[in-house]
Chain A
Amino acid sequence: EVQLLESGGGLVQPGGSLRLSCAASQFTFSSYAMSWVRQAPGKGLEWVSTISGSGSSTYYADSVKGRFTISRDNSKNTLYVQMNGLTPEDTAVYYCARGQYCSGGSCQNDYWGQGTLVTVSS
């Protein structure tokens, strides 16, 4: 069974930084694009970023471009997102998701992690 386990969420002050991780197992990690999708409290789903299986291509939502950096370590089967310059508007549950049949950064996400909560507040 495919497993995705996020970690690294927590409370951070505005302007601060945080790095989220997503540990993947039970599939060939390097063969799949991976995405981060977030959900603000009581709101809908918002795509954040996608990275290709090799890591050579990355895509970002305009709302995080220049502040967030997606990366992956295929030797560790782990996906990351480095989040800098955080604002209260970044407060959300962050999900990692496996992508397939991607058109650029737009994928069909067939497996999702349980999510990790990021709260940006002073």
Chain B
Amino acid sequence: DIQMTQSPSSLSAFVGDRVTITCRASQSIGSFLIWYQQKPGKAPKLLIYAASNLESGVPSRFSGSGSGTDFTLTISSLQPEDSATYYCQQSYSTPPTFGQGTKVEIK
């Protein structure tokens, strides 16, 4: 199975800050990388697919980059509603695997 490792596990930042979350795969997955946002008590929401493609309706302050084994989710200007846990997932091979999550809090 492909292991997905996110860092950091949690972070706290001010509104307006630039926030970066990293996801590393244990082997190359091309661009088969997805980012989800999950708020407490809610289902995950698709943010980014194919490593860098923004899902329709997702604010443009979210962006994704990377290929192979190293990927990044960036929030260019953190907003209060971005407080959530973010997960990466590889869709390169079965079983699909998720990172452990990064909890983003607002200072």
- A101-B91 CB under 8 A given contacts A44-B101, A46-B98, A106-B96: yes
Interface of B (DSSP majority class) = loop
Contacting pair A106 B95 (CB below 8 A): yes
Q: Given contacts A108-B49, A109-B46, A110-B55, is CB(A44)–CB(B92) below 8 Å?
A: no
| A44 to B43 Cα, complex, angstroms | 12
The yes or no answer to A114 lying at the interface (CB within 8 A) is yes
Size range of the chain B interface in the assembly: 20 to 34
Question: A62: which B residues are within 8 A, CB to CB?
Answer: 95
Instruction: Please classify the interface of chain A as helix (H, G, I), strand (E, B), loop, or mixed, using the class held by over half of its residues.
Output: strand
Inter-subunit contact B98/A107 (CB<8 Å): no
How many whole Å from A77's CB to the nearest CB in chain B? 19
Cβ of A113 within 8 Å of any chain B Cβ, yes or no, is: yes
